[in-house]
Amino acid sequence: MTTEAAVPTEPKQAVNWSAIRADFPILDQQVHGQPLIYLDNAATTQKPRAVLEALRHYYEHDNANVHRGIHELSNRATNALEAARSRAAQFINARSADEIVFTRGTTEGINLVAQAWGSKHVKAGDTILLTEMEHHSNIVPWQLLAERTGAQLVYLPVTGDIGLLDMNRLDECLTRKVKLFAMTHISNSLGTINPVVELCARARQLGVTTLVDAAQSAGHRPIDVQEIGCDFLVLSGHKMCGPTGIGVLYGRPEVLEAMPPYQGGGEMILNVEFQRSTWKQAPHRFEAGTPDISGAVGLHAAMDYLEKIGRHNIAEHDQELGAYAYAKLTRLGQGIRLFGPHIGRAGLVSFRLKDIHAHDVVTVADQRGVALRGGHHCNQPLMRKLGVESTARASFFFYNTTAEIDRFVEVLGEIQKFFGVA
Ligand code: C6P
C-alpha cells in the first residue's frame, strides 16, 4: 500500500456545502467580468467570516502585548494566545499545549527544526532522508544544515508519472545512518497522499527522528500526531482558512525540551546577564519576540470552523472533487498530460496541455475568471524528474463545486482549441 487514501470513518452527516460556500465573502465576485472560480487553494485558502470576525473582535476589544503586562488587556491577549495553543494541540491530537510552537508557517517550522534540532544532533557522515516530492521548504533548510555539518542528503525516489513514493527502495534509503527522515504528507504538485504512518513507524524502528510536512493536509483531513507517530509536524494557518503569518510546529515533548533555542530575544528567556542567559522551557523557548497574537486568534477560529464542518467530511469531499476533476480532465484526450496518482489522490490536479506553457494556460484561464497556478510550485527537482519545467495546477477546497470544475475543464478545452493542440 503506497498511499493513505482512506480517511478514518465516522458516521456520515449530510453537509450543506452551498451554505458553507456562502461563509466566504471573497468568492462572491467577478474577475475580468466573469464569476470568480478560485482553484488556487494549495497556495492559500480563502477565509470564512468567522475568521475575519475573530480578527476584528480581537483588535477592537483585546489587543495588547502578551506575557508582559498585568493589565486587563494584556491578560486577555495572553489568554487568547494560550487558548489558541490549546486549540491547536487538540486539533492535531497532541497530548499537551506545550508541544505546540507558534511559527510563521510551515517554512519557518522546518527551518526551526533544521537549525535548533539539526545543529545539536546532525554531524559529518550522517544522512538526512527526504523524498523526491518535497517542496523547496523541505529541501533547502536541510541543504543548509548539510553544508554546515558535512551531512549528506538522500532522497526516497518517486515512481515516474504515477507519482507515488517507491516503497521498494525504502530499505535501501532508510538506514541506520539516517538521523532524520522529513516527508510531505500530501504533495502540492502531484496530489499524492503519502503513507506517513507507515513511514514514521519504519523510521522509529531504527531510532530515526521524523518530520511530517502537513502544509497540504492539515486543512483537508483529520491529523492525529499520536497516530502518525512523528517527532515533528509542521503546518501553515493560511492553507486551512486561517490568516497568513501563523503556523504550528508540533514537537514530541522530549525532543523539543532537548533542543537549544532557535532565535534569541524577549519572551524566550528566564534570566539574562551581560555575558549569558538561561532559557524558558518549550514551547516558549522557541518563540522569541512578540508573537503573531492576532494570527493565533484567527487560526483558533479557523480550527473551530473546520471542526464544525467535520474534517472527515472535508476529506471525503476533497477527494470527490479531486477524482471528479481528474476523470473529467482525462476526457480531454491526448492533448493533456496529467501528473500524480490515478486514484486515492488529494483534491488537486497538475497538468500540461502539450507544449503550451503553463503560464499561458494560467493567463488565459484568468481572463475567464478561473484562478489557477502555473510554474514549478517550489518543486524544481521533482519537475526535472518528471521531465518538465512547469505544470499548471488546479487545487480545490470544500467550497468549490463540480459546476466550477465543469467550467474550468471547458476553459481548458477552449485553450486547447485556441493553441491548436486538441
Ligand atoms: N506551497 C503552493 O503549492 P508556507 O509558504 O511556509 O506556508 O508553505 C510552504 C510549503 C511547504 N510544504 C508544502 C507541501 C507546500 O505546499 C508549501 C506551500 C504553495 O502553491 C506555495 S509554493
Question: pLDDT tens, 75-107?
Answer: 999 999 999 999 999 999 999 999 999 999 999
CA 421–ligand 1 middle distance (angstroms): 31
Choice among 173, 200, 230, 378 that is catalytic: 378
Minimal-distance CA residue to ligand 1 atom 16 = 188
Question: pLDDT-derived band of residue 7, with 50, 70 and 90 as boundaries?
Answer: low
Q: What is the pLDDT of residue 162?
A: 85
Say which CATH architecture domain 51-308 belongs to.
3-Layer(aba) Sandwich (3.40)
Residues 338-362, mean pLDDT to the nearest whole number: 95
Using the mean position of ligand 1's atoms as its centre, give its distance from the Cα of residue 42 in Å.
Answer: 7
Pocket mutation for ligand 1, best pick of 45, 107, 183 (most atoms within 8 Å of C-beta): 107
pLDDT for 69 equals 77
Share of the chain above pLDDT 70, in %: 96
Give the max Cα distance, the chain. 71
The pairs formed by 374-377 with CB atoms below 8 angstroms and a separation of 24 or more are 377/42, 377/135, 377/188, 377/189, 377/350
DSSP notation for 376-406: -TT-HHHHHHHT-S-EEEEE--TT--HHHHH
The predicted structure's pLDDT at residue 315: 97
Number of Cβ within a 10 Å radius of residue 139:
22
pLDDT in the model for residue 6: 55
| Mean pLDDT along residues 337-355 | 94
Q: Whose CA is nearest to atom 15 of ligand 1?
A: 215
Ligand 1 mean position to 356 CA, how many Å?
Answer: 25
CB atoms within 10 A of CB 412: 26
CA of 350 to the centre of ligand 1 (A): 15
Q: Which of 191, 163, 245 is nearest to 42 (CA)?
A: 191
Cβ atoms within 10 Å of 284's Cβ, excluding its own: 17
Q: Quick one: pLDDT band at residue 3, thresholds 50, 70, 90?
A: very low
Contact 154, 178 (CB under 8 A): yes
Confidence check: pLDDT of 4 > 90: no
Contact 356, 392 (CB under 8 A): no
Give residue 68's pLDDT.
76
Flag the least confident range among 4-13, 204-213, 215-224, 355-364.
4-13
Q: Which atom of ligand 1 is nearest to the CA of 236?
A: 7
Q: What is the domain class of 17-43+311-418 according to CATH?
A: alpha beta
Neighbours of 276 (CB within 10 A): 7
Q: Collapsing DSSP states into helix, strand and coil, what is residue 310? A: coil
Say if residue 420's pLDDT is above 60: yes
pLDDT higher than 80, residue 12: no
Percent of the chain with pLDDT strictly greater than 90? 92
The full set of domain ranges for the chain reads: 17-43+311-418, 51-308
Report the pLDDT value the prediction gives residue 2, as an integer from 0 to 100: 45
Q: Residues 187, 161: contact at Cβ < 8 Å?
A: no
For ligand 1, what atom is nearest to the CA of residue 247? Answer: 7
Asked if residue 17 has pLDDT above 70, the reply is: yes
**pLDDT of residue 5 exceeding 90:** no
Q: Cell 515512481 belongs to which residue? A: 159
Region 115-120: what's the mean pLDDT? Answer: 97
Is 230 marked active-site? Answer: no
pLDDT band at 178 (very low <50, low <70, confident <90, very high): very high
Task: Kindly report, residue by residue over 242-273, the tens digit of the pLDDT.
Answer: 999 999 999 999 999 999 999 999 999 999 99
* Ligand 1 site, CB within 6 A: 42-43, 105-107, 135, 137-138, 184, 188, 213, 215-216, 236, 373, 377-378
Decide if 154 contacts 130 (C-beta within 8 A): yes
Query: 44 CA to middle of ligand 1, Å?
Result: 9
Whole-angstrom CA distances from 39 to 103, 142, 309, 319, 401 are 26, 31, 20, 15, 10
Q: What is the mean pLDDT of the chain?
A: 95
Q: Which of 236, 372, 396 to mutate to test the pocket of ligand 1 (most atoms within 8 A of CB)?
A: 236
* pLDDT digits 0-9 by tens, 394-405: 999 999 999 999
CA distances from 112 to 122, 216, 263, 288 (A): 14, 19, 9, 12
